[in-house]
Amino acid sequence: MTRICLLVAFLVAGILADEEARRGLYSSEFDNLDVEAILNDDAERDKYYACLMDTGPCHSEAAVFFKDLVPEVVVTSCKYCTPRQLEIFGKIVTWYIDNKSKEWKELVVKTIEDARKRGLLDY
């Protein structure tokens, strides 16, 4: 539960960050992603989840894009996110905490493991 709170705190901190201080934002190529439609479609949501968890293929370019970002997003508090990406990640976090807490906890653990493997975390 502590990790979940930390992740949410990181995302909120990123949202409140001074936009003018941001440099080198992530590509906005997938900022038009309809995250609500994905979250409300069990089959589509499960495909994204499987991609993020390395239990299934990444079925779209958007899935690959976001899978690559997630560890760094968590570690940097979404420092390089576009405003829309902040919104997307916030909706995903909220939805999983409210609707699929077990899967959320598994995703948090996996994300931390991935961040360590990439050398983004020292502990």
Would 122 be classed as within a structural domain? no
Q: Which residue has the higher pLDDT, 60 or 121?
A: 60
Residue 51 located in a structural domain = yes
Q: What is the pTM of this model?
A: 0.78
* pLDDT > 90 fraction of the chain, expressed in percent and rounded: 77
Tell whether 63 is covered by a domain: yes
Is 19 a member of any domain? no
In a domain, 25, yes or no: no
Asked, for residue 26, whether it belongs to a domain, the answer is no
Query: pLDDT by residue (tens digit) across 89-105?
Result: 999 999 999 999 999 99
Does the pLDDT of residue 116 top 90, yes or no?
Answer: yes
Work out the mean pLDDT of the chain and round it to a whole number. Answer: 86
The answer on pLDDT for 88 being more than 70 is yes
Give me the domain span that covers residue 91.
2-14+34-117
**How many structural domains compose the chain?**
1
Cα 53–chain centre separation: 12
Q: Residues near 54 by Cβ (< 8 Å), separated by ≥ 6?
A: 110
Q: For residue 24, tell me if it sits in a domain.
A: no
Over residues 46-72, the pLDDT tens digits come to 999 999 999 999 999 999 999 999 999
CATH of the domain at 73: 1.10.2080.10
Residue 122: pLDDT band (50, 70, 90) is confident
Residue 23 domain-assigned? no
